[in-house]
Amino acid sequence: MITPLEIDNKEFKRGIRGYKEDEVDEFLDLVKVDYEKLYKENAELREMVERTNQQIERYKTIEDTLKNTLIVAQNAADDLRANANKKSELIIQEAEARASEIVLKAHQDVSKIKEEYDGVKKQIQIFRTRFKTLLQSQLDVVLNSCDELNEEE
């Protein structure tokens, strides 16, 4: 690309019927000024494009970092959820096992109490029978004694 300085330093050969040198110089000065503005504007735009590209790259890096962070967070949440589910299942299983043990123990206690009750019932029945027998024998003794006393009279 041609620079404004090259336009300013450009010299043309003179011919017999060449252009008027003053008019060419004036025109080149105008072209140089406009070209210089365009050249500076082009340089500024290139810098702006470069800065914009750098910002875009930085934003892409941030975006990638955010995506990775979200993926890691999602994986961590999934792992946490899975662990919580496993833990809750274990707690439920332990509670069910404990409940089964308690129910079994209660059934055993009920059976034991029932056996004791049946044993006490039998002992009461035996006691009644013995007591009845004792009373009957005592009554017989008393009646026999009364009969003997009545006969002696």
pLDDT tens-digit series, residues 35-71: 889 989 999 999 999 999 999 999 999 999 999 999 9
**Tokens standing for residue 74:** 């999602």
pLDDT tens-digit series, residues 102-116: 999 999 999 999 999
Chain-centroid distance of CA 70 in Å reads 13
Q: Is the pLDDT of residue 93 over 90?
A: yes
8 and 28 in contact (C-beta within 8 Å)? Answer: yes
Outline where the chain has alpha helix (H): 4-9, 21-152
pLDDT recorded at residue 110: 97
- The Cα 86–Cα 103 span in angstroms is 25
Q: Is the pLDDT of residue 122 over 90?
A: yes
Model confidence, pTM? 0.46
- The Cα 101–Cα 9 span in angstroms is 106
